[in-house]
Amino acid sequence: MDFITVYFLVISALLGACAGSFLNCFAWRIVHGESVMKGRSHCDECGHVLGVRDLIPIVSYLASGGKCRYCGAKLSKRHLGAEIVSALVFLSIAWKYGISLETLEFWLLGSALLACSFADLEAYLVPDRFIVFAIIVRAVFIAVSPEPLEALKTSLIGGFSVAAAVLLVVIVMEKVLKKDAMGGGDIKLIFVIGLYLGWERNLLCLMMSALFGVVAGMISLKKKNDEEAEAFPWGPSIACAAWVTALFGSEIISWYLQFFTTVR
Ligand SMILES: [Zn+2]
């Protein structure tokens, strides 16, 4: 690896950590009905406004031992988790796609999905504004692509085909089970991921998200009591599946399809 590549990857990870810190705060303010633009970052416990020293991703958390510097309240580990996961997302995308427009596009999609995941973990909802943001970003990239019409077609088929199928299954299941099978926010996530990845990879993403969801569900069932177990955020599993699919989807699909090609 040459110097430029290493430098780019380091910058990507730092950018990701900063994005994670910002997105986590942004998502928290939205689900708690606080103004996004107004008000400086403050401690949730004592309300003390945070200084520059407190806002350095990862470093601030570790330096303060995971406590507020002013009142000593323990900070949620989710802050640290959000920053580390976001750094990994940005880094892995940069590693896969290099210095390219695709990297920028997936960083922006990743940011939207991370924000949706943080909101879902915090309040079991997927805010529409993050979905709208991702749709607008995709529209801009389609407009500047070499073949906009072809890209638009692939994108729309990718979004609608899988999301419509899921919606149909959910409607049938809700009729049969007479209870909510899946949140509307989750279907919007599947739709928006399809716009970026096309229908083949979106289908892979859907299957993988079901697998991740079951595993995450079993882990959280062990931890929580029965009341809390009723509500389960599926958004992070979908976002995680989209991450793996964006990185390795094409390879996984061609590996799978080789079993169906006849040997001449
Ligand atoms: Zn405090």
Asked if 257 contacts 221 with a C-beta cutoff of 8 angstroms, the reply is no
The mean pLDDT of 218-231, rounded to a whole number, is 66
Q: How far is the CA of 67 from the centre of ligand 1 (A)?
A: 8
Q: How far is the CA of 54 from the centre of ligand 1 (A)?
A: 11
Q: How far is the CA of 256 from the centre of ligand 1 (A)?
A: 52
Q: How far is the CA of 118 from the centre of ligand 1 (A)?
A: 21
- How confident is the model over 164-179, as pLDDT tens digits? 999 998 888 888 887 7
How much is the mean pLDDT over the chain?
90
Asked if 247 contacts 210 with a C-beta cutoff of 8 angstroms, the reply is no
Q: What percent of the chain has pLDDT over 90?
A: 59
Q: How far is the CA of 74 from the centre of ligand 1 (A)?
A: 8
Query: Can you give the pLDDT at residue 263?
Result: 59
Residue 264, pLDDT above cutoff 60? no
Q: How far is the CA of 44 from the centre of ligand 1 (A)?
A: 7
Residue that has been written with the tokens 């633009």 in this structure? 37
Query: What pTM, to 2 d.p., does this model score?
Result: 0.90
pLDDT band at 231 (very low <50, low <70, confident <90, very high): low
Residue 226, pLDDT above cutoff 60? no
- Residue, of 189 and 221, whose pLDDT is higher: 189
- How confident is the model over 123-163, as pLDDT tens digits? 988 999 999 999 999 999 999 999 999 999 999 999 999 99
Q: How far is the CA of 69 from the centre of ligand 1 (A)?
A: 7
Q: How far is the CA of 75 from the centre of ligand 1 (A)?
A: 9
Q: How far is the CA of 71 from the centre of ligand 1 (A)?
A: 4
The mean pLDDT of 29-37, rounded to a whole number, is 83
Residue that has been written with the tokens 């309240």 in this structure? 73
- What is the distance between the alpha carbons of residues 242 and 225, in angstroms, rounded to a whole number? 29
Query: Can you give the pLDDT at residue 230?
Result: 61
- What is the distance between the alpha carbons of residues 124 and 92, in angstroms, rounded to a whole number? 27
Asked if 240 contacts 212 with a C-beta cutoff of 8 angstroms, the reply is yes
